[in-house]
Homo-oligomer: A and B are copies of this chain.
Amino acid sequence: MPAKDAYHTIVRTALEKDQWQITHDPLRVVLGRKKGYVDLAAEKLLAAQRGTKKIAVEIKSFLGASTLDEFEDALGQFLIYKVALEVDDPTRQLYLAVPFSVYTDFFDDSFFSGILKRFMVQLLIFDEEQQTIVQWID
């Protein structure tokens, strides 16, 4: 299994194989109206474009001690960025990148897949060994 830092590169590679052009890595989004917070974890976010379609991708390795803990963090981050992008860059769609092994193991549970649906979390499933995109879930 690739090391945690490798996931970012893997997702980049998988997107490029699929004819996406990486336009921002990292994508920096200023959050908040007053102080303009910049997320410490913002290096996890990249932006890509293919034709007229623009996306932002939040990359999580899910390699921490607890997949649940990682998912809680990923969900909160996803929703905050989604709200920010709706205002700042409304044509850009946000995806959460999830390794295929995590998708089949963790999200193959109606409770967690139900949470994804309810909060409209779009997924980009990638194969961490083949470095390819497996599925987009809108």
- A-side residues, CB < 8 A to B, are 31-35, 37, 39-41, 65-69, 71-77, 79-80, 83-84, 108-112, 114-115, 118-119
Contact = CB atoms under 8 A, between A and B. Distances in A.
Contacts of A74: 76
Q: How many copies does the complex hold?
A: 2
B83 A77 contact: no
24 contacts: A32-B109, A33-B110, A33-B111, A34-B109, A37-B66, A37-B68, A39-B69, A39-B72, A40-B65, A40-B66, A40-B68, A40-B69, A71-B76, A72-B76, A72-B80, A73-B73, A75-B76, A75-B80, A79-B115, A79-B119, A83-B114, A83-B115, A84-B111, A119-B119
